Structure 1
Amino acid sequence: MRSQTLKLLCKISYFNNRIATKDNTLCILLFLLIVLSFSRSANSKSLLHLRRGDSISVEGDDFITSPDNTFTCGFSGMGSNAYWFAIWFTNSKDKTVVWTAHRDMPVNGQGSRVSLRGDGTMVLTDVDGRIKWQTNTTNTDVAAAELLNTGNLVLKNRQGDILWESFDVPTDTLLPSQLLTKDKRLISSLRKGSLESGYFNLYFGSDNVLSLISDSPQISSLYWPNPDYDIYTSGRTNYNGSRFAVLDDMGVLFSSDHYQANASDIGFGMKRRLTIDPDGNLRIYSLINSTGLWMITWQAISQPCQVHGACGTNGICVYAPKPKCICTPGYTANDPSDWNAGCKPMFNQTLLNLGVKFLEVSQTDYFGSDLYYKPNFTLEACWNLCRSDSGCKGFTYRTWGNGHCYVKSDLFNGFTSPDFPGSVYIKLPRSLQVSKPSIFHDSSTMCESRGAEILVGSPSMYNIARKTVRWGYIYSFCLALGVIELLFFVLGWWFLFTKHGVPASVEAGYRMISNQFRRFNYAELKKATNNFREELGRGGSGAVYKGVLADDRVVAVKRLGDVVQGEDEFWAEMRTIGKINHMNLVRMWGFCSEGRHRLLVYEYVDNMSLDKHLFNSNFLGWKQRFAVALGTAKGLAYLHHECLEWVIHCDVKPENILLDGEFQPKIADFGLAKLFRRDSPGSEITRIRGTKGYMAPEWALNQPITAKVDVFGYGVVILEMVKGIKLSNWVVDDADNQKNPLQSFDRTVKEKSEGGNSSWVESIVDSRLEGNYSRKQVATLIQLGLSCVKEDQSKRPTMAAVVQTLMECEDETNKIPDRM
C-alpha cells in the first residue's frame, strides 16, 4: 500500500514539474496534503472483527462496525472527559447509544482501551490500567469479537459459536429480535443526555407479568400495567411462567403474558428500538432515514403524569400545558435541575405540634403510600383522622359515591388531572405562609366559593358542602368494554396460534386490525361507502360519507379538500392523531393517502351533531345539555393538557360536537388544522381559522394563536346551549353593539343580575325548557361562557379550569326532572 502511494506521489510530482517547473510551492503543498491524508487514514480504521490480542484505544479512531453499517461499536464521549465503550446507530443524527459496557463507571479520555486478551476475555481498562469491566469468558477459546447486523456484539470461537453476547446484558434499549427474559431488565438513563442508570425499570415480576416500576432510593412503585386494575382487566395473564418479551422486525412488541403492542408504522424495512426513557415511559422509536431523527410510533403511557416517580418525593406532575414538575405547597426542590431528587419540607416537623392547617389542592392525588383507606367517609372525619395521626402528611378525598378518604404517609409523586374527582389536603404548620399553586389557573367563576386553607378549629371546616360525583356508571361501562375487548383478543389469539396453516398474509392482517388504527387503500374505502353515495354532512375541511368496512364496522369517511402536505408528512400527522384517545373525542380508525386522495376514517356516531338537537324542535333537555357542556370541556382539556400531542382544535362549534347513542358528546375534526395552509387566500382562511361567530379576536388581530382560541369557541357554544338560539340569530337591542352580540349580552347579564335577584336567569334561558333546569347550573354556564369569550385571551380560563368549575356543579343535575 505504501509503495503504491509513493509511486503515485512521484508521478504527481513529475507531472507538476512538466507543467510548471517554477511553481515548486504548489507541488510541495500538494505533496504535504496527500501525506497528511494518508497518515490520517492509516490511523483510522473500521473493523469487522477484533481478533485475540487486538485492542481499541479511546484516543484512536478505531471502531467495530456491523457488516451493513447499521451499528457502530467503540468509545463514545459525553461531557469533558467521560467515555463509554458503547454501541450506537451509525446513521442516527445524535448517534443514539443502545448499549454500554459499564454505564455507571465511565473511563478517562486518555489511556483507556478495550482489549481482547489471550485468555478469551474482553476487558475495559482505565488510564491507570484498572479493569472497569470484563466479560465472563476466561479460559475459553474465544477467537474474535464481532458486531452483528442486529446490533449484537458477540464473542465467537473459531467454529463460529457465540460464547458471549451483549444482548444478554441490556441497558435501556431492546433491539428487534433481542429477548428480554426473566433474569434481565431494562433500566432507564438518569436524565436526558446521560448514560448512567436511572430509576425506572422494565422487567418481569414474580407474577410473570411484564411491568414498569419506579425504583427510587426512597420508594418503589409499580405503574404499568395500571395497578388499579387486576392483570386480567389489563389484558394480561400470569399463567405463563416462561417470561419473555421481544420486539420483532415488523414493529410488534409481544410478551409471554399475552401483551401485544404495534408500532403505528407496522411493517418491514424500518430500523426500530424499544427504549425505556428517563421520564419512565416505554416507547418504540422508528428511524427516519432522510433526517436521521427518531419518531415515536408507540408508547406505554399516554398521559406522562401517570408515571410514578416522575417528579420524585413531594413533587407534583402538572400539565401546563406540557408535563412539568412542581413541589407540593410547603416544600422546595432538592435540586431544580434533577426532579428525581424530589422536594424537601420548608418547615421543621416540630412546628406541627403547635397547630396545623390543611391546604387544599383540587383535582390532585398522590400515588400510593396510604396509611388508611376509609370508604363512605365524610370530609370532616377524614380531616380529623389525619390531624390526630403524626404519621399523616396529608389526605386525598375523592368525591364519588359517598366519599372516599385516603390518608397519606408520604406524598410520593403527585399528579393533576381534570378528570380526577377530588382534592388532596396538605398538612402544614399553622404558622407557615403558603399559597395554593396555580395548577389550572382557576376560573373566577365557581358554583360555591371555597377557601384555599382549612384551619384547625375553623368553622368553615364544618360548613363545606359534600360534593358527590356519579362516576360508578362510567367505570362499569369501561369495565364491560374492557372485558369484551379481552374476549375478542383471546379468541383472535386462539385462532392465530392454535390453528396450523394460517397464511402469513392473514396473520399480518389480523395484527393490523388489532392495532385499531391502520392505513386503508382508496379502493376499499370506495367500496365501503358504496362509491361515496350516502353523504352525512359537508364542512370546511370536506364532505363526510357513511360506510361499512369489511369487518362490519360502521364508519364515517371524510374526504379532505386541498391538503398541502406530502405523503410522508401527512402520514406522520395521521399517526399523531391516531394515538389520541378519549371518551369525548371521535375515534379515528385510520386514513388513506393515495395520489391526490386524502381520506380519514372515523367511528360512526349515531345522533349526528349538537346543532341538530339544539336549534330545532327536537331539542335537548337541560340534563343532556349540561352533560354535553361537561363532556366537551373534558375532551378539549384532554387535547390541551394531557394527550400525547397537545392539540389546538381551531374550530369549536356545535357542528363539530357529535352525540352518541347516549347523547354523550364526542368532538370531531380535532388535529386537522395542521393539514391545510393557514395563509391561503379566500375561503380557506375562514375554514382553518374557524367559523364566523366562533372565531377568537386574535385571528383577526394577527396575535399568537394558543389553546385560548378553543376556549373562546367553547364559550360561544355553551352560551348558545343556554339560550337555545344560534349566536347569529341573537336579537341585539343595543344599537351600538349590533355587530357584537356577545358584548351586548354581557352588558344585559350584568344589568339583570345586579341586586342579587335570581329571576334574571329565567329571562335568558331557553324558554322551551319550561323551568326544568338547575338555576345554579344555568347561572354558572352563563358566567363561565362570558369569561371564555373575553377579548383578552389572558383573562380566559383554561379548559382544565372549566372542567373543575362544571364538576362542582354536576350534582345539581340530579334535582332536575327528566324531560318527557
Structure 2
Amino acid sequence: MVSCFLFNYREKSSDIQQPLTPERYNYTDILSMSNNFKDKIGEGCFGTVYKGQLHDDYSIVVKKLESFKVSEEHFINGVSRISGIQHPNLVPILGFCSEGSKHVLVNQYMPNGSLDKYVGNSDSFSWEKVWEIVLETGQGIEFLHGQSGGGIIHLDIKPRNILLDGNFRPRISDFGIAKLCRKKHDLVSLYGRSETMGYVAPELMVSRDFEAVSCKSDVYSFGMIILEMACGRRHVDVDAINSSKVHFPTWVYELNERGDLEFENLTKSDTMIARKLFVIGLWCTQTRPSDRPSMTRVLEMLETDLDDLEMPPKPVFISAQYLRERELDSPKEMLLPETMERSS
C-alpha cells in the first residue's frame, strides 16, 4: 500500500512547469528590492543571500554572487539556460542582474527556510514526511541529471540548498550555478568550506583536472542527506562524539551490524521507511562512483519493497590526504588500496 501511495505521489509531483523568462534588473533595482541588502538570511559557497520584496509585496530572495569572475556575456547566457529548467522541486529563477563585476540572482522566497534547520532533529517531521522530502528531492535531482535536457550536475547538494516552501515541499536551489563558473578551480576551491565538506563525494576531493565530475557525485551528496534524515543526527555530530575521525556512512553501517539502530517506538510502516532509507543511503555513499546507483535507480529503490533491496557493502573511508598523496591515474574510477578489503 505504501509503494502504491509513493508511485502516485511521484507522478503528481513530477509535472513540469512552463519555462519562464527571467527579468533583467539593473543594480539600482536590486538595491531597492533588497533594501540595500539589509535583511541577510544566509551565506553559502557562492555568495550572500538577502530577503527582499518586489513592487507588489511578493517576497523574494536576492542572491549576491561574490565568488564569480566571469564576463557579463557568459553570465547572462548561463542564466538564460538554467532559468528555463523548471520543475516543482526546483527553486525558480525570477530575475538577474549583471553589471560589470556585479552578478545577482533573484529567486522565489521559501518561507520555511532550508532543510539545514531540521536535519539532526528526529522530531522535526513524521517518517512519512521524511519519506516525501527524500523522494521529491530525488525527483528534482533526477530531473537535473537527465530530463531537463541540459544534463545539469549540481555539485553542491546539501541541506542548506534544499529549501522548503509553505507546504514543506522541498525545492533545490543553486542548481546550474556550477555551470556559471568559468574556471574549474573557482568551483573546486568552494569545497573547502566547512558546510560543504561532508557532502562532497570523495572523487571530487582528489581530482585535479575535474574529470571526476559525474552525476554520481550528486548521488553521494544525496546519500549523506538521506542518512542524516534517517539517523536524526548530522554527520558532523558523529565526528564530534568520537575522538578519532569517523566516516559517517561507515558509522551507520556498523550501527546496523550491531543491531543498535533505534526502531523500538516506531510503527511497522515507519520502521520499513527508516530501514529502507538506511539501505539506500548506504548505497548512495559507496566509495567508488561506479558502485553508486543512478538517481533514476535511487527512485526505483525508494518504491521497492524493503525485502527486495540488497544490503550494500560496507563503505570504506579513504581520506582526501591519503588519495592526494597517491596521484590517481584515473580519477573517474577511484580504486581502493589493495590493503583495504571491502566488507560484504
Tell me whether the two structures share a fold, i.e. TM-score over 0.5. Answer: yes
Cα distance, 1:597 vs. partner?
1.2
Q: What code does the residue aligned with 1:711 have?
A: V
SS at match of 1:717: helix
- Is 1:602 matched up with 2:139? no
Aligned to 2:303: 807
Identify which of 254, 261, 264 aligns with 1:747: 254
Percent same amino acid at aligned positions? 33
Tell me the residue number matched to 1:764.
261
Q: 1:724 aligns with which of 232, 243, 253?
A: 232
172, 185, 188: which one aligns with 1:679 = 185
Task: Say yes or no: does 1:660 pair with 2:184.
Answer: no
Return closer, same or farther for 1:648/1:682 CA change in 2, 3 Å cut-off: closer
Q: 1:515 to 1:654 in 2, by over 3 A?
A: closer
Q: How does 1:779-794 map to 2 (within 5 A)?
A: 779-794=275-290
**Does the aligned pair in 1 maintain the 2:93–2:105 contact within 8 Å?**
yes
Matched letter for residue 467 of structure 1: C
Q: Which structure is richer in relative contact order (CA contacts within 8 A, separation 6 or more)?
A: 2
Number of residues of Structure 1 aligned to a counterpart in Structure 2: 301
Instruction: Choose from 60, 68, 88 the match for 1:583.
Output: 88
What SS does structure 1 have at the residue aligned with 2:61?
strand
Q: Answer yes or no: is the 8 Å Cα contact 2:47–2:65 preserved in 1.
A: yes
* Partner SS for 1:606: coil
The one-character-per-residue Cα deviations of 1:474-513 (angstroms, maximum 9, x if unpaired) are 859979xx9xx9xxxxxxxxxxxxxxxxxxxxxxxxxxxx
- In structure 1, runs of 5+ residues without a counterpart are 1-400, 402-446, 448-465, 486-513, 753-759, 811-820
Question: Is this contact kept in 2: 1:630–1:807, CA < 8 A?
Answer: no
Are 2:156 and 2:196, in contact at CA under 8 Å, matched by a contact in 1? yes
2:39 & 2:138 partners in 1: Cα distance?
A: 31
- Point out the structure with max Rg over C-alpha: 1
Q: Equivalent residue for 1:153?
A: none
Query: Retained in 1: the 8 A contact 2:219–2:293?
Result: yes
Q: Secondary structure at the match of 2:140?
A: helix
Contact preservation (8 Å) 1:467, 1:808: no
Equivalent in 529, 536, 548 of residue 53 of structure 2: 548
Does the aligned pair in 1 maintain the 2:20–2:84 contact within 8 Å? Answer: no
Secondary structure, counterpart of 1:774 in structure 2: helix
Counterpart amino acid of residue 719 in structure 1: L
Maintained 8 Å contact 1:609/1:655: yes
2-side partners of 1:475 and 1:637: how far apart? 15
Q: Is 1:535–2:40 an aligned residue pair?
A: yes
Contact 1:582–1:635 under 8 Å retained in 2 = yes
Find 1:519's aligned residue among 18, 24, 27. 24
Indicate if the aligned counterparts of 1:678 and 1:685 stay in contact, CA closer than 8 A: no
How far did 1:617 drift?
Answer: 8.2
CA distance in 2, matches of 1:478, 1:572: 26
Alpha-carbon separation, structure 2, partners of 1:729 and 1:603:
32
Runs of at least 5 residues in structure 2 that lack an aligned partner in the other structure: 307-344
Q: Residue 610 of structure 1 aligns to which amino acid in structure 2?
A: L
Question: Aligned to 2:196, what secondary structure does the other structure show?
Answer: coil
Q: Distance in 1 between matches of 2:179 and 2:146?
A: 18
1:799 is displaced (CA, Å) by 0.5
Displacement after TM superposition at 1:711 (Å): 0.4
SS of structure 2 residue aligned to 1:589: strand
Secondary structure, aligned partner of 2:286: coil
Partner Cα separation in structure 1 for residue 263 and residue 206 of structure 2: 33
Query: In the aligned structure 2, how far is the partner of 1:805 from the partner of 1:617?
Result: 23
* 2:122–2:232 CA contact under 8 A, matched in 1: no
Q: Provide the residue aligned with 2:215 in structure 1.
A: 707
Is the strand fraction higher in 1 or 2? 1
Change in 2 beyond 3 A, CA 1:474/1:529: farther
Q: What is the letter of the counterpart of residue 79 of structure 2?
A: M
Shift of 1:635: 0.4
C-alpha separation in 2, matches of 1:722 and 1:803: 16
| SS, match of residue 601 in structure 1 | strand
Residues in 1 aligned to 2:205 and 2:81: alpha-carbon distance in whole angstroms: 29
Shift of 1:586: 0.7
Q: Distance in 1 between matches of 2:247 and 2:126?
A: 28
Return closer, same or farther for 1:766/1:544 CA change in 2, 3 Å cut-off: farther
On the 8 A contact 1:610/1:654 being kept in 2, the answer is yes
1:593 and 2:79 matched: no
Q: How does 1:41-60 map to 2 (within 5 A)?
A: none
Question: What TM-score does the superposition give when structure 1 sets the normalisation length?
Answer: 0.34
Tell me, in whole angstroms, the C-alpha distance in 2 between the residues paired with 1:786 and 1:793.
13
Q: For the Cα contact (< 8 Å) 1:765–1:778, is it kept in 2?
A: no
8 Å Cα contact 1:732/1:741 also seen in 2: no
Asked whether 1:558 is paired with 2:53, we answer no
Whole-Å separation in 1 of the counterparts to 2:34 and 2:229: 33
State the Cα distance separating 1:468 from its structure 2 match: 4.6
TM normalised by structure 2 equals 0.78
| Structure 1 residues 610 and 683: CA distance shift in structure 2, 3 A | same
Change in Cα spacing, 1:628 to 1:681, as seen in structure 2 (3 Å) is closer
Q: Distance in 1 between matches of 2:298 and 2:106?
A: 30
Q: Is structure 2 residue 26 aligned with structure 1 residue 471? A: no
